């Protein structure tokens, strides 16, 4: 596993890279939340070491830091982060995701996590819950900012963040359909045939979106905006590949449960045979875009 860190230039946001207005909240309920809980990749310890070092996180009871995980899903970021702070707040608009996060917390014995139903639009209301002398040490957003409005969000987070704390926008690798490997290209082709259109979504992992997020952090008053990159190798079994894919597609876009086995079979047929017993090799690049208050 390798890592590197570099300051990020902050160009003016481009209208071409802005999210489509009025796109609404995606539906990640039911089976999609179950796919998310079972198949979504977690984060290696190096991510949490970097967060603790960058923001000087404190886990002492009573005086330690509060952390906020926006779009927390089923807790892949929030639960490991809980070991580095006094309390972590997981905020997500999907009740099924929060149920999965609470179940995972109970299984892991994590007792300092609080799960709240809400969106990035609810962040200003958190001010009433946070102690004035100890606001947020860190806000993390893992592969979810593309569903939010970064400029408004970062402006709302700045007054809630303690000096030296900040925001980390974390991209946990490129989507499984957006990579350069033969298996990813085959998957993308099968998806484009099914949906009848090009599949170009990067889920906020492409360079243009990362630059837009960096510019928004700077405009909101965060400083020392930089990108820390952590690289490692992984592998996906066919089940993990499809489960990860299904966790990323809103329930309204997936085939119905009755049609899903046939859809999965078509995708499997389009994929090349796994080259190793471990499955499809995948280089994972984690990007931690951070800004400090």
Please name which of 164, 204, 180 lies closest in space to residue 286, comparing C-alpha atoms: 204
Alpha-carbon gap, residue 203 to 114, rounded angstroms: 26
- According to the model, what pLDDT value does residue 194 have? 93
- According to the model, what pLDDT value does residue 62 have? 75
pLDDT(10) > 80 = no
Share of the chain above pLDDT 90, in %: 77
Q: Which of 14-23, 153-162, 167-176 has the lowest mean pLDDT?
A: 14-23
- According to the model, what pLDDT value does residue 128 have? 83
> How high does pLDDT run on average in the chain?
90
Q: What residues have CB less than 8 Å from 69, skipping those under 6 apart? A: 75, 77, 78, 81, 88, 89, 90, 91, 139, 140, 141, 142
pLDDT (tens digit per residue) in 22-79? 335 678 888 899 999 999 999 999 999 999 999 999 998 778 999 999 999 999 999 9
- Tell me the domains of the chain and their CATH numbers: 2-175+202-233+282-292 (3.40.50.150)
- According to the model, what pLDDT value does residue 47 have? 97
- According to the model, what pLDDT value does residue 142 have? 95
Please name which of 165, 158, 161, 136 lies closest in space to residue 220, comparing C-alpha atoms: 158
Alpha-carbon gap, residue 137 to 64, rounded angstroms: 9
pLDDT band with cut points at 50, 70 and 90 for residue 19: very low
pLDDT(16) > 50 = no
Alpha-carbon gap, residue 136 to 142, rounded angstroms: 17
pLDDT(266) > 50 = yes
Share of the chain above pLDDT 70, in %: 91
Interaxial angle between packed helices 238-248 and 260-270, expressed in degrees from 0 to 180 and rounded to the nearest 10: 120
Q: Which of 7-11, 201-205, 266-270 has the lowest mean pLDDT?
A: 7-11
In this prediction, residues 102-117 reach a mean pLDDT of: 97
In this prediction, residues 174-197 reach a mean pLDDT of: 95
């Amino acid at each position: 596993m390798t890592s590197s860190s570099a300051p990020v230039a902050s160009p003016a946001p481009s209208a071409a890279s802005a999210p489509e207005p009025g796109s609404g909240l995606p539906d990640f309920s039911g089976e999609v939340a179950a796919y998310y809980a079972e198949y979504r990749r977690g984060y290696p310890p190096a991510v949490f070491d970097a967060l603790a070092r960058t923001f000087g996180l404190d886990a002492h009871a009573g005086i330690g830091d509060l952390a906020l995980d926006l779009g927390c899903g089923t807790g892949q970021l929030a639960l490991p982060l809980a070991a580095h702070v006094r309390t972590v707040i997981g905020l997500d608009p999907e009740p099924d995701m929060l149920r999965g996060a609470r179940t995972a917390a109970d299984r892991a014995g994590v007792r300092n996590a609080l799960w709240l139903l809400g969106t990035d639009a609810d962040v200003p209301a958190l001010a009433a819950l946070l102690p004035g002398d100890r606001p947020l040490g860190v806000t993390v957003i893992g592969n979810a900012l593309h569903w939010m409005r970064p400029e408004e969000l970062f402006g709302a987070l700045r007054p809630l963040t303690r000096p030296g704390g900040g925001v980390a926008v974390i991209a946990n690798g490129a989507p499984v359909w957006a990579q350069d490997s033969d298996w990813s290209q085959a998957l993308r082709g099968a998806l484009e045939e099914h949906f009848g259109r090009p599949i170009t979504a990067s889920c906020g992992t492409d360079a243009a979106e990362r630059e837009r997020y960096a510019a928004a952090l700077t405009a909101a008053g965060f400083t020392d905006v930089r990108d820390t990159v952590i690289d490692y190798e992984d592998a996906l079994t066919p089940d993990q590949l499809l489960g990860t894919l299904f966790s990323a597609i809103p329930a309204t876009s997936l085939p119905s449960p009755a049609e899903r086995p046939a859809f999965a079979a078509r995708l499997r047929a389009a994929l090349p045979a796994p080259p190793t017993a471990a499955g499809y090799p995948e280089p994972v690049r984690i990007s931690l875009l951070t800004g400090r208050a």
